[in-house]
């Protein structure tokens, strides 16, 4: 059955057609986003939901979306989506962070010019029949210092445009490297230094707990007298009451505001102030940007629903369409390794270490880690997936660590999962051969080569004569057919393990007989979500 997508906000006909061209059934209802009751009634019928800003994806809506796999936001802001709720339900949330980058950057530059030359006020005055040439004394942009807070996609474009305008650009961004700053031609500063040196300040950072109210009275006090502030990013970054007080006192000479604490902003104390330019969240409002983000979200959602490719996801590692075929077998391997440990571990898990050796260290390890955690948790929570697993692991207080290293053995690449509880440590390693099927290569430090089947039996025992015969006899006497058999030991006469690949689940009554034998320390039936050989 073809996947179904609901488009509840306005997208272009071209974007709708992209879904259909990919074999996705699309239901275009652009006014449904504002009809909460109707949306709640029908959302359970869809695998995907494509939105802009009008649709509010609340926890209540997510709980009703029993089939939903992906939410796609045509635009960068996902304030209207309850991401934690979506993540707990295993729903991918995508956005389009690049489609409106140029448009938003250009709007910030436009507001900077408007402030510098008081263009809106001069326009109003002139059209009113006045000729107040001496009233509107502006400032030059050239030679001034622009402080860019957030130098990612949009901020870096603003910085490049400002450098072209012969401005000196300083930037604050915790993730901005010295190399990238040099490439952009900007000077990297800490936040207080930026406040002290900038003539203009422009914000291009997401709204998070760390950035909320990043410009308040305390921050403004550290700024130059006569600074001008531009915000085309998110309402909530600037404390509006503090900004208004600074505008009235003259500490801040002007502000260009495209986003507000409360939107739509139909009544705001900033309105009517002569040194303020306000626009109604127009950062992404160009024909090109609106079309770009619509086409991008349609492509992204279609690629995921049809081919499993994940791009620009907020709550899951991206997997490109090109790497998906190569990564897929190792995602299954990571999931199987996690599932093995999850099925044989009863105590609460305290720590998880995942080692990527050789070629696996060069892969998309974030996706592999998510798969391993999903396999690990699934024996206790059946509906966990790669989206929700990291959230659940964090909620359980599991300490996660990742290790990468160059090839160290006979295998081109393998994954090793080590789990610690209060009382024990378990480790298992596996790889994929040319057939792309997962194989176990080490359990408890014991080397072996075992195919992974849907139904398996795992035993531990002392290395003693008769174990193979015992297992074969008990299975044979009870009609249990063994498809494959692997065993290993740490040393002669030491600890040994066996893995039996079975055609059907191991019967409980036979399991009881096996466990009662003096040569068997433990025996556990296992089930893996793999194709039968």
DSSP string over 112-160: HHHHHHTHHHHHHHHHTT---TTT------TTPEEEEE--SHHHHHHHH
504-521 mean pLDDT: 92
480-486 mean pLDDT: 93
Tell me: do 463 and 511 sit in the same domain.
yes
Catalytic residue (one of 52, 89, 234, 378): 234
Tell me: do 149 and 211 sit in the same domain.
yes
**Which tens digit of pLDDT belongs to each residue from 245-296?**
999 999 999 999 999 999 989 999 999 998 999 999 998 888 888 899 999 9
Q: Is residue 532 part of a domain?
A: no
Tell me: do 380 and 258 sit in the same domain.
no
Tell me: do 164 and 179 sit in the same domain.
yes
- Which of these three, 443, 469, 488, is where a domain ends? 443
pLDDT of 315 reads 82
Q: Is residue 283 part of a domain?
A: no
Q: Is residue 312 part of a domain?
A: no
CA distances from 410 to 59, 355, 381, 446 (A): 49, 16, 36, 15
Tell me: do 161 and 215 sit in the same domain.
yes
Catalytic residue (one of 22, 107, 281, 489): 281
Q: Is residue 26 part of a domain?
A: yes
Relative to beta strand 70-73, strand 48-51 is parallel
Tell me: do 156 and 57 sit in the same domain.
no
Output the average pLDDT for the chain.
92
Is residue 125 pLDDT above 70, yes or no? yes
Q: Is residue 448 part of a domain?
A: no
321-334 mean pLDDT: 86
pLDDT of 508 reads 92
**Which tens digit of pLDDT belongs to each residue from 429-460?**
999 988 889 999 999 999 999 999 999 999 99
Tell me: do 329 and 402 sit in the same domain.
yes
**Catalytic annotation on 517?**
no
pLDDT of 314 reads 83
226-240 mean pLDDT: 96
CATH of the domain at 340: 3.30.1330.90
DSSP 224: P
Catalytic residue (one of 263, 291, 323, 353): 263
Q: Is residue 530 part of a domain?
A: no
CATH of the domain at 464: 3.30.70.260
**Which tens digit of pLDDT belongs to each residue from 35-67?**
999 999 999 999 999 999 899 999 999 999 999
14-18, 84-88, 391-395: which is most confident:
14-18
- Asked if residue 369 lies in contact with residue 354, where contact means CB atoms within 8 angstroms, the answer is yes
pLDDT of 143 reads 97
Q: Is residue 340 part of a domain?
A: yes
pLDDT of 176 reads 87
Query: How many domains, in total, are found in the chain?
Result: 4
Tell me: do 135 and 157 sit in the same domain.
yes
**Catalytic annotation on 168?**
no
Is residue 478 pLDDT above 80, yes or no? yes
125 burial type by CB count under 10 A (0-12 exposed, 13-18 middle, 19+ buried): middle
DSSP 506: P
pLDDT of 389 reads 86
Query: What does the alpha-carbon distance between residue 34 and residue 74 come to, in Å, rounded to a whole number?
Result: 16
Tell me: do 460 and 491 sit in the same domain.
yes
Query: What does the alpha-carbon distance between residue 499 and residue 526 come to, in Å, rounded to a whole number?
Result: 10
- Which of these three, 422, 443, 464, is where a domain ends? 443
Tell me: do 273 and 333 sit in the same domain.
no
Tell me: do 398 and 409 sit in the same domain.
yes
Residue 187: strand, helix, or coil: strand
**Boundaries of domain holding 347:** 318-443
CATH of the domain at 173: 3.40.50.720
Is residue 533 pLDDT above 70, yes or no? no
**Catalytic annotation on 274?**
no
Of 206, 205, 203, 157, nearest to 184 (Cα)?
Answer: 157
Tell me: do 127 and 269 sit in the same domain.
yes
Q: What is the dihedral of CA 222, 228, 230, 234, to 10 degrees?
A: 30
Q: Is residue 248 part of a domain?
A: yes
pLDDT of 308 reads 83
């Amino acid at each position: 059955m073809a996947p179904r997508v609901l488009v509840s906000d306005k997208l272009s006909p071209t974007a709708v057609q992209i879904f259909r061209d990919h074999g996705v059934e699309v239901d275009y209802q652009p006014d449904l986003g504002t009809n909460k009751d109707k949306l709640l009634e029908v959302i359970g019928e869809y695998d995907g939901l494509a939105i802009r800003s009008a649709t509010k994806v609340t926890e209540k809506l997510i709980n009703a979306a029993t089939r939903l796999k992906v939410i796609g936001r045509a635009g960068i802001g996902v304030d209207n989506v309850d991401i934690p709720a979506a993540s707990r339900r295993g729903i991918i949330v995508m956005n389009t962070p690049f489609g409106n980058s140029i448009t938003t950057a250009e709007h910030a530059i436009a507001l900077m010019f408007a402030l510098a030359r008081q263009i809106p006020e001069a326009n109003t005055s002139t059209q009113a029949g006045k000729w107040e040439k001496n009233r509107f004394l502006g400032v030059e942009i050239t030679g001034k210092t622009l402080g860019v807070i957030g130098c990612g996609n949009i901020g870096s474009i603003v910085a490049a445009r400002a450098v072209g305008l012969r401005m000196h650009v300083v930037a604050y961004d915790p993730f901005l490297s010295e190399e990238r700053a040099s490439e952009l031609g900007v000077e990297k500063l800490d936040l207080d230094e930026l406040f002290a040196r900038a003539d203009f300040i422009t914000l291009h950072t997401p709204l998070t707990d760390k950035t909320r109210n990043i410009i308040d009275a305390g921050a403004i006090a550290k700024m130059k007298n006569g600074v001008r502030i531009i915000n085309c990013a998110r309402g909530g970054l600037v404390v509006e009451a503090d900004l208004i007080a600074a505008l009235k006192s003259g500490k801040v000479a002007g502000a260009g505001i495209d986003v507000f604490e409360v939107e739509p902003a139909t009544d705001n104390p900033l309105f009517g102030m002569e040194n303020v330019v306000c626009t109604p969240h127009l950062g992404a409002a160009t024909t090109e940007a609106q079309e770009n983000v619509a086409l991008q979200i349609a492509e992204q959602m279609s690629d995921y629903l049809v081919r499993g490719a994940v791009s620009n996801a907020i709550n899951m590692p991206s997997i490109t369409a090109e790497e998906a075929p190569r990564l897929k077998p190792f995602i299954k391997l990571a999931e199987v390794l996690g599932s093995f440990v999850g099925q044989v571990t009863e105590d609460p898990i305290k720590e998880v270490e995942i080692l990527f050796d050789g070629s696996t260290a060069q892969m998309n390890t974030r996706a592999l880690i998510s798969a391993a955690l999903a396999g690990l948790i699934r024996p206790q929570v059946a509906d966990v997936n790669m989206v929700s697993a990291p959230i659940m692991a964090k909620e359980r207080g599991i300490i996660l660590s990742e290790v990468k290293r160059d090839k160290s053995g006979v295998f081109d690449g393998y994954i090793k999962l080590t789990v610690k509880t209060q009382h024990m440590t378990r480790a298992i390693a596996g790889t994929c051969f040319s057939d792309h099927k997962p194989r176990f290569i080490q359990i408890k430090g014991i080397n072996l080569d075992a195919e992974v089947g849907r139904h398996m039996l795992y035993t531990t025992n002392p290395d003693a004569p008769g174990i193979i015969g015992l297992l074969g006899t008990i299975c044979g006497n009870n009609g249990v057919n063994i498809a494959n058999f692997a065993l290993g030991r740490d040393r002669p006469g030491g600890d040994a393990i066996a893995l039996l690949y079975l055609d059907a689940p191991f019967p409980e009554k036979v399991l009881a007989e096996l466990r009662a034998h003096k040569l068997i320390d433990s025996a556990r039936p296992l089930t893996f979500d793999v194709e039968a050989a």
